[in-house]
């Protein structure tokens, strides 16, 4: 059977001879299979869906999408054999939900850092301009005013299509979506139509998964290779890989820059903890976001808005009103004139950017106290690098746990400390405190009026992942309480 024959609703009567059945849902988890479901057997990182076909059938699945037939085949089951189940599932999902990505303007944003800020700013700005919008983001998915929790930066292709259909039914004209490198290589965007795509930057991250930086770049390129001629691509000209990312794209390419001749040019005029002033296309703009890294994010938002046909003055006014996303350089003020900053920075480049922004903004008398850890079961090679960056750019640094997952948090901290071995001058700057809450508490007690405390790594997250459990933990709430005692 051809994939094009798998339409919005599959008549199982034609496939199995059962006149009372029709496909009510498509699932990729055998536990979610119920009577009348199609089960897609996907080869994953830790398991293979083909091993769970029998369980799916026991739970009621009447059609199986797979790459190879099981040894024991049942006559009343329709088996659809394809070369790549994950790729085929994208087409099935799009068909099943009525191709919602083609019924609105969907913009994908990819890169190592800045995805969340750009997607949230686009949602905020376009909402301020009077449009109904949807958003798929690390900090939550939104369908107009309704916020939905999320577990992943980019959901699976079934969830994404359902979200997009809900957006269409809610009257959304635009949707803005974070697109991770994992999602692209795992074909979680297959069958989804993007009207445009944005590249922010690329630096050291996820090398435990992609194995090499070159493979990481190739993963990001997938989004742009899949764009059609009617789509647009926005890329950061100041990133040395900015043009490489878009080199094989059929889309119209628009560049933005703070340093070079680009289609969209910006100039940073002023930056402090309260916001920044920027000149964009010969017009000045004040925003509530702070730092040079956010100047790039603003240029990306502006470029996208202009390519979507928005009036320059209306767009700039909307951007000026945007609030910083939760956990992205989020300020916490205390009663003792101590400034707290909570940020999601969990890559070397992001941590460097945040600390450099603080250093460039603070006075000579203000100290920087940084609390930072690294995630468990993730890229180990960035741990020593992040430790060095934290120590070089702080007056005092507290190495602690982040989301240790199934790793020993003390072993993770030791991996970080190992980075300081060749920098004896940095050794005295660090303290290792395994408990994250205790590390934040010690930093708060140690700080004196005028000091700045950076809590890096978890940002908006309200949990800590330890041994398979998500335990309540909120950096901002803890820091706010400690600074206002």
What are the per-10-residue average pLDDT scores of the chain (485 residues)?
A: 40 41 73 86 86 93 92 89 91 91 98 95 98 96 91 86 97 97 92 97 68 87 97 97 96 97 96 94 94 96 98 98 93 92 94 95 95 94 96 98 96 97 92 98 96 96 95 97 93
What is the pairing mode between strands 396-399 and 463-466?
A: unpaired
C-alpha–C-alpha distance, residues 456 and 397, integer Å: 11
For 245, how many CA atoms within 13 A lie in the half-sphere containing its CB?
Answer: 32
* CA nearest to 338, candidates 443, 459, 457, 456: 443
Contact between 86 and 183 under an 8 Å Cβ cutoff? The reply is: no
C-alpha–C-alpha distance, residues 360 and 481, integer Å: 27
pLDDT, residue 390, reads 98
* CA nearest to 407, candidates 346, 320, 468, 329: 468
C-alpha–C-alpha distance, residues 278 and 300, integer Å: 13
pLDDT, residue 205, reads 59
Q: Which domains does the chain have, with CATH numbers?
A: 3-96 (3.40.1390.10), 100-320 (3.40.1190.10), 330-483 (3.90.190.20)
pLDDT, residue 12, reads 40
Q: Which two tokens stand for residue 21?
A: 């059945």
**Distances in whole angstroms, Cα of residue 226 to Cα of each of 84, 155, 162, 217, 223:** 17, 18, 21, 15, 6
DSSP bridge partners of 278 = 268, 285
Helical segments of 106-252, H only:
115-128, 157-169, 181-185, 207-210, 213-225, 242-245
Mapped onto helix, strand or coil, the DSSP state of residue 339 is strand
C-alpha–C-alpha distance, residues 485 and 479, integer Å: 10
Question: Between vectors from CA 459 to CA 453 and to CA 462, what angle results, nearest 5°?
Answer: 115
Which helix H or strand E contains 92, and what residues bound it?
helix 85-96
- Report CA dihedral (437, 293, 331, 272) to the nearest 10 degrees: 140
Contact between 344 and 413 under an 8 Å Cβ cutoff? The reply is: no
Contact between 278 and 298 under an 8 Å Cβ cutoff? The reply is: yes
What is the pairing mode between strands 140-143 and 339-343?
A: unpaired
Contact between 279 and 302 under an 8 Å Cβ cutoff? The reply is: no
For 17, how many CA atoms within 13 A lie in the half-sphere containing its CB?
Answer: 4
Task: Label residue 275 left, alpha or beta by phi (over 0 means left) and psi (-120 to 50 means alpha).
Answer: left
pLDDT tens, residue by residue, 223-268: 999 999 999 999 999 999 999 999 999 999 999 999 999 999 999 9
Contact between 216 and 236 under an 8 Å Cβ cutoff? The reply is: no
C-alpha–C-alpha distance, residues 15 and 38, integer Å: 12
Q: Which two tokens stand for residue 60?
A: 């009621």
C-alpha–C-alpha distance, residues 316 and 386, integer Å: 35
pLDDT, residue 485, reads 83
pTM (2 d.p.): 0.89
């Amino acid at each position: 059977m051809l994939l094009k024959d798998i339409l919005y609703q599959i008549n199982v009567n034609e496939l199995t001879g059962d006149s009372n059945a029709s496909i009510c849902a498509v699932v990729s988890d055998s536990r979610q299979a119920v009577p009348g479901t199609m089960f897609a057997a996907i080869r994953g990182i830790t398991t293979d869906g083909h091993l769970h076909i029998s369980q799916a059938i026991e739970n009621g699945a009447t059609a199986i999408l797979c790459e190879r037939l099981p040894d024991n085949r049942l006559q009343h089951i329709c088996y659809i054999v394809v070369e790549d189940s994950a790729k085929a599932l994208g087409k099935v999902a799009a068909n099943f939900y009525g191709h919602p990505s083609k019924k609105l303007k969907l913009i994908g944003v990819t890169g190592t850092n800045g995805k969340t800020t750009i997607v949230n700013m686009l949602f905020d700005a376009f909402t301020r301009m009077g449009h109904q919008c949807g958003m798929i983001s690390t900090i939550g998915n939104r369908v107009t005013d309704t916020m939905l929790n999320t577990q992943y930066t980019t959901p699976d292709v079934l969830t994404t299509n359902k979200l997009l259909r809900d957006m269409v039914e809610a009257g959304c004209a635009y949707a803005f979506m974070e697109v991770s490198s994992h999602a692209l290589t795992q074909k979680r965007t297959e069958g989804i139509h993007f009207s445009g795509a944005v590249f922010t930057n690329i630096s050291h991250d996820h090398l435990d998964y992609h194995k090499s930086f070159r493979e990481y770049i190739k993963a990001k390129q997938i989004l742009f290779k899949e764009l059609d001629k009617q789509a647009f691509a926005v890329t950061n000209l100041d990133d040395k890989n900015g043009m490489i990312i878009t080199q094989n794209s059929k889309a119209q390419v628009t560049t933005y820059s703070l340093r070079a001749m680009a289609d969209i040019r910006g100039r940073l005029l002023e930056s402090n903890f309260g916001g920044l002033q920027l000149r964009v296309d010969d017009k000045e703009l004040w925003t509530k976001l702070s730092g040079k890294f956010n100047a790039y994010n603003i240029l990306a938002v502006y470029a996208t808005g202009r390519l979507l046909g928005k009036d320059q003055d209306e767009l700039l006014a909307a951007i000026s009103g945007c609030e910083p996303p939760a956990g992205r350089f989020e300020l916490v003020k205390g009663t003792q004139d101590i400034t707290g900053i909570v940020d999601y920075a969990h890559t070397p480049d992001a941590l460097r950017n945040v600390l450099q922004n603080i250093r460039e903004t603070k006075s000579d008398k203000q100290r920087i106290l940084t609390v930072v850890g690294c995630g468990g079961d993730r890229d180990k090679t960035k741990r020593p690098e992040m430790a060095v960056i934290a120590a070089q750019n702080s007056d005092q640094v507290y190495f602690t746990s982040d989301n240790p997952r199934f790793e020993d948090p003390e072993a993770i901290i030791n991996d970080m400390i190992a980075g300081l071995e060749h920098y004896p001058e940095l050794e005295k700057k660090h303290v290792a405190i395994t408990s994250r809450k205790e590390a934040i508490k010690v930093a708060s007690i140690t700080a004196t009026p005028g000091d700045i405390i950076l809590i890096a790594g978890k940002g908006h997250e309200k949990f800590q992942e330890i041994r398979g459990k998500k335990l309540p933990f909120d950096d901002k709430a803890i820091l706010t309480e400690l600074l206002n005692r």
